[in-house]
Chains A and B, each alone.
Chain A
């Protein structure tokens, strides 16, 4: 008798959110990192007003990618260290539910970082980023990052080099997502038609999600 999928997923999400509310470890680290990254970029690139417009979406997404790598590493490593993963494996729940639960949790945490970044970068770079369409793009982009990232982080958390391996494994694989998401963001900011690109972005998300759903059970097997 296994617990139904949705119930399990919600339970895992609730667990992650509660742990996060009490420790405030993940989101605070990621937000702090994101702030630093945005500042470092603005110094490193010595942006003038025109250059800002062009690179701001790149800065946004590079920062989000690195922040999500940071969060994913912690999220899955903690689960291993504290025996959470073992407990979930013993529990009579579908393996897919573990993936979905962890994935949605990571998605929410990175989304918070993104939602902090949008108004902040609007102020710092003087480019209007607080738009409904950009928030939709943000959600879809972060969803894709979490979908493939949770799968890969579950693997790299079990390797010898751990934290160092996730960026190496993840960065090349998310290039398709990054390419599309940057295209959406720049078309929105340039005021062009972007709905077609949103479709492509959703397709990439769907591919990552399916890969994660199908392959995750092999990754956590002992």
Chain B
């Protein structure tokens, strides 16, 4: 039993149920996601140069910031885990990586779909595209690192350290179009690189559809998913505890 307690697991073996706040948040997120979709697809006017394909941008950029939200949560979880050694902070870090990675893949996929008609290719080894792919690989490596360590205490410790180190690749992806002038990826805020292809005017019309979707994909969706993922992890912990109890009897 002492071994279990030292692993920082909850003492109770009751299956935790989701609080009402989480249900409210979930329902709100679903409704807002649908509304955001309507805004992006029907309310915003069609782009003069790019046509309807430009609408995918309303999901493309916000999902990157959603990924960033998850990865920042990982850093916060990591730092706090190293400070306090409480398992819940590591659960936050893990949830951040999984949710962030999913959103980063959505970001890559939507970008690819957009690039097909605009750049005439699904993928090009542009600086930003490459660094976004590298960012995904870094977090895939995070999950592999976790899988490679059996001792749970050590696993949490190493994962926290790697989660903090890994944020450098996310920051790089954010700033790379400012430091690599040859990038063809347009910048949304501020001037685009000289060679940018497929930039469009940041009009009021664009802002109207981008604003809601930015909050939905950048905050609401990652927040809801991370919360659910933490609850799932709590259940896993309870199951493990019960298993340990059953074995010790």
Contacts and interface: CB of A to CB of B under 8 A. Distances in A.
A95 to B, nearest CB: 13
Nearest to A215: B161
B148 to A, nearest CB: 4
B145 interface: yes
A173 interface: yes
B141 A159 contact: no
Nearest to B135: A172
A175 B131 CA distance: 8
Interface in B112-142: 127, 131, 134-135, 137-138, 141
A116 interface: no
Contacts of B134: 172, 175
A148 B164 CA distance: 12
Contact of A165 (B145, B176, B179): B145
A148 B166 CA distance: 11
Q: Is the interface of A mostly helix, strand, loop or mixed?
A: helix
B172 A169 contact: no
Nearest to A180: B179
A6 to B, nearest CB: 25
Interface in A153-209: 155-156, 158-161, 165, 168-169, 171-173, 175-176, 179, 200, 207
Contacts of A161: 148
A96 B238 CA distance: 37
Contacts of B165: 148, 151-152, 173, 211, 215
Interface size grouping (class) on chain A: 20 to 34
Interface residues of B, number: 28
Interface in B138-166: 138, 141, 144-145, 148-150, 154, 157-158, 160-162, 164-166
Contacts, number: 73
B161 A168 contact: no
A173 B169 contact: yes
A218 B90 CA distance: 14
B205 interface: no
Contacts of B168: 173, 176, 207
A165 B138 contact: no
Contacts of B232: none
A219 interface: yes
A200 B141 contact: no
Interface string A129-164: 000000000000000000010011001101111000
Contact of B154 (A151, A158, A165): A158
Contacts of B162: 152, 155, 169
Nearest to B154: A158
16 contacts: A152-B165, A156-B145, A158-B154, A159-B158, A160-B150, A161-B148, A165-B144, A165-B148, A172-B169, A175-B169, A175-B172, A200-B179, A215-B165, A218-B160, A218-B161, A219-B157
Interface of A: 148, 151-152, 155-156, 158-161, 165, 168-169, 171-173, 175-176, 179, 200, 207, 211, 215, 218-219, 221
Interface of B: 82, 127, 131, 134-135, 137-138, 141, 144-145, 148-150, 154, 157-158, 160-162, 164-166, 168-169, 172, 176, 179-180
Given A179-B180, A215-B82, A218-B82, 8 more contacts: A155-B145, A155-B161, A160-B148, A165-B144, A169-B145, A173-B166, A175-B169, A219-B158
